[in-house]
Structure 1
Amino acid sequence: MESAFNEAASNDTINATVPDYYDGGEVEYLCEEEMYFGSINAAFFFLIFIFSVIGNGLLLCVLFCYEDKKKVTNLFVLNLACSDLVFTLTLPFWAIDFLSHWVFGDFACKFLIAAYFVGLYSSVILLTAMTVDRFATVVLQWPSSLVKRQRCAMGACALAWVISIAACLSDAINTKVEVHREDFFTCEASTEDKLGYYLQVSLLFFLPFAIIVFCYSAILRTVLHAATRQKHRTVVVVLCIVVVFFMCWGPYNMLIFILSLYEPQDCNVRERLNLTFDIFRLLAYSHCCMNPMLYMLSQKFRRHLVCLLHCGNAKRKEREKEKSIGQSTSNVIQHAAVKSLDVIGRNSAELLELRF
């Protein structure tokens, strides 16, 4: 993952008192018994994975079953859910890495790093596209044609995935499995190209943040003077999604940026930074569970979700009812057959008595 992520993870495992000698003759004493939260992080990663798969899975089912997928907002929400799932599917592998070490090999290391960044970058770009769409619709009132707006949204979604895949390639290429001891492996990204890393973070996180702030400043000014309540609702929903994203990912990215420039030598400072890093990382990763919870605030989504769950229950009850009806019919037929045989038997006996 990010260079700061790997450095912090490596620092968590340091609990020796042996001095570290460098070529310049300087000696740096490693910290004693730094706290290690690998098991706690792994447990939270598994929990986030479970909630995200369930939440985003239900969200996709509701969108496919009850919503118009050609609607622009639904199109963005659909792609955001897919983006969250791509990111989510990498979490069990990082959890296992925390519990032991990297056991999946070099190809899996590169592939999962790529999936991690595809999920992250696509979320940022899609949220920016959603905000620009709201800005164009509410402030500029463009495009006037719904078909043009749908085409622009589909193009923006496709472009988000293309840019994300292109941006993650450098991270995947620069990532490899490092051997620290005879039987201890880590999946680490190269820290040589720091300028490229700063540029990428600036373009794919801070620049979208600046665009979103600008767009919503104009949107809120326009909405406050508008009388259309439906537009106001849509803007509030998109605003909540964007605010939650940056509240989750903002502290984590800021801390990564700081750790890329500053490496503390004091053991207490390092321990506090490692703890802060773990907390911010869990907050950031929990974002993939947030969007379904935000949609639960919508009465229409809750109604669709209830219909979806009741539909499953209704189908199960219908199958049980059909099965019980089938069994009842079979019992009736069997009873009728037995009764017919009894009647035929009695008639035959009567005929025999009359004959003889």
Structure 2
Amino acid sequence: MNPTSQFLGTTEYDYGYDEDTAPCNEGNSFHRFKSLFLPILYCLVFVICLLGNSLVLWVLLTRKRLTTMTDICLLNLAASDLLFIVPLPFQAHYASDQWVFGNTMCKIMAGIYYIGFYSSIFFITFMSIDRYIAIVHAAYAVRVRTASFGIIISLILWLVAGLASVPNIMFNQQLEIEQSLQCVSTYPPGDNTWKIASQFSANILGLLIPLSILICCYTQILKNLQKCKNRNKTKAIKMIFIIIIVFFLFWTPFNIVLFLDSLQSLHIINDCKTSYQIALALQLTEAISFIHCCLNPVIYAFAGVTLKAHLIGLLQSCVRVLSRPARGAGAGQLFSVPIQLSSCSDSAGFL
């Protein structure tokens, strides 16, 4: 087998060949896709995600006291999304040329990527559980949904994300392949155990468990909302469907292709054309999945009434500082929208 890989692709791409044929190559379309489309996409995602999540952190840290588990969730989700995009400038250069940053940076960037990958999904799942408790078990939520408990859970999730990333950090290294320096996942020859285990863990921890929890939590929330006579119930229900559908659309294609690549490693799929198609599909679906971190601030932060009110107040404060009006209403008075912890509270604002 002739292993080649993109920098932070979750897998090593294997292009199979038999003794009577030449090795499979990526083809001109694959190289054009990597060298033209990917750098542009990575740079756009980096800028948009940086602005959106930095704004979330700015609002949380300057305008809103971190007093609830939801605040802690939002803070950590924004931090994990920012961590997730740190390697993108390196990956943009790598996609257009070769890896020139050395073996140490190869491992560091891989570690940052995978920790950001797992932690972002973990905190999305954590937020779904938090909302489930707040709406379905409102009385119990008063005792559980505290900032201190949120910090403890967050530390555990960061630890799990770090441990899940260890194999990828260990096996990623800089190699010279076909006169080109590449940052690749290099596994023991003839043994695909670590590769398959890494891919299956990404499937399980990155899709199957989180998506199952999202569906279970939001199904119960929907049942609870159906009993409520709430003017914003329809908006809350729409938001629930948006959360699940967006998560499914952006992460399922990548995980399906990743699973197919695992089948290739097990030699269940073993032909040149399919190997090439899987390699191309992995690059495309992984690139698409990056976009999800750009949408998180909109879906999880600024779609909520309270945080959106703080954002508007913060922006109005900036405008007032720039224009320096003589008098004006306080942003806190205009946009103070408290959240009540009851099963039929203003769920649209909370969701």
TM-score by length of 2: 0.75
Alignment of 1:89-100 (within 5 A): 89-100=86-97
Aligned partner of residue 140 in structure 2, secondary structure: coil
Q: Does 1:314 align with 2:320?
A: yes
Deviates more, 1:192-201 or 1:98-107: 192-201
Taking a change above 3 Å as real, the CA distance of residues 115 and 217 of structure 1, as seen in their structure-2 partners, is same
Counterpart-to-counterpart distance in 2, 1:121 and 1:180: 29
CA distance in 1, matches of 2:26, 2:112: 35
CA distance in 2, matches of 1:32, 1:169: 29
Q: How do 1:221-240 and structure 2 match up within 5 A?
A: 221-227=223-229, 237=239, 240=242
| Equivalent residue, structure 2, for 1:201 | 202
Q: Is the 8 A contact 1:56 1:84 kept in 2?
A: yes
Which structure carries more relative contact order (alpha carbon 8 Å, separation 6+)? 2
Conserved 8 A contact 1:49-1:92: yes
Q: Which of 265, 268, 284 in structure 1 is aligned with 2:271?
A: 265
CA distance in 2, matches of 1:107, 1:316: 45
Say whether the 8 Å CA contact 2:196–2:262 is kept in structure 1: no
User: Counterpart of 2:338?
Assistant: none
Structure 2 counterpart of 1:123: 120
CA distance 1:233–1:79, change in 2 (3 Å) = farther
The Cα shift of 1:162 comes to 1.1
CA contact (8 A) 1:121 1:164 kept: yes
Identify the structure with the greater helix proportion.
Answer: 1
Q: Give the aligned length.
A: 305
1:289 aligns with 2:297: no
Aligned to 2:131: 134
- State whether structure 2 residue 193 is matched by structure 1 residue 188: no
Partner of 1:60: 57
- Within 1, Cα distance between the matches of 2:170 and 2:83? 19
- Given candidates 161, 164, 177, the residue that maps to 2:161 is 164
1:297–1:219 distance in 2 versus 1, CA, 3 Å: closer
Q: Is the 8 A contact 2:200 2:259 kept in 1?
A: no
Quote the offset at 1:270 in angstroms. Answer: 5.2
Q: Structure 2 vs 1, CA of residues 297 and 127 (structure 1 numbering), >3 Å: closer, same or farther?
A: closer
Kindly indicate whether the alpha-carbon contact (under 8 Å) linking 2:203 and 2:255 is maintained by their aligned counterparts in 1. no
Deviations 1:281-320 (A, max 9, x none): 222001111012324444554443343233334334449x
Q: Which amino acid aligns with 2:50?
A: V
Taking a change above 3 Å as real, the CA distance of residues 28 and 154 of structure 1, as seen in their structure-2 partners, is same
Change over 3 Å in CA distance of 1:287–1:21 after alignment to 2 = closer
Q: Which residue is equivalent to 2:215? A: 213
- CA displacement, residues 174-200 of structure 1 (integer Å, 9 cap, x when unaligned): 111111134x11111134313422442
Q: Aligned residue for 1:175?
A: 172
* 3-state DSSP of counterpart to 1:101: coil
Q: 1:106 to 1:145 in 2, by over 3 A?
A: same
Cα 1:155–1:29 shift into 2, 3 Å: closer
Structure 1 residue 50, shift from structure 2 partner: 0.5
How far apart, CA to CA, are the structure 1 residues paired with 2:227 and 2:44?
43
Of 284, 287, 290, which aligns to 1:279?
284
Q: CA deviation at 1:96?
A: 0.7
| Structure with larger Rg | 1
Match of 1:304 among 292, 310, 331: 310
**Matches of 1:277 and 1:140 in 2, distance apart?**
41
8 Å CA contact 2:133, 2:141 repeated in 1: no
| Paired residues of 1:34 and 1:271 also in contact (CA < 8 A) | no
Residue equivalent to 2:254? 252
Name the aligned partner's letter for residue 27 of structure 1: T
Deviations 1:143-179, CA, capped at 9 Å, x for gaps = 3534664333222111111111121122101111111
Query: In the alignment, which of 56, 66, 70 is matched to residue 73 of structure 1?
Result: 70
What's the offset of the Cα at 1:47?
A: 0.7
The structure-2 alpha-carbon separation of the partners of 1:5 and 1:122, relative to structure 1 and needing over 3 Å to count, comes to same
Taking only the aligned residue pairs, the percentage that are identical comes to: 24
Give how far 1:278 is off. Answer: 3.4
Cα distance between partner residues in 1 of 2:124 and 2:38: 27
Specify the code of the residue in structure 2 equivalent to 1:215.
C
When the two structures are superposed, what TM-score results if normalisation uses the length of structure 1? Answer: 0.74
Q: What's the Cα RMSD here?
A: 3.1
Q: 1:108 Cα deviation (Å)?
A: 0.6
Which whole-Å CA distance do the structure 2 matches of 1:313 and 1:174 have between them?
Answer: 50
Letter in 2 for 1:315: V
Q: How many Å separate the matches in 2 of 1:5 and 1:312? A: 46
Pick closer, same or farther for the CA change 1:4–1:52 going to 2, 3 Å.
closer
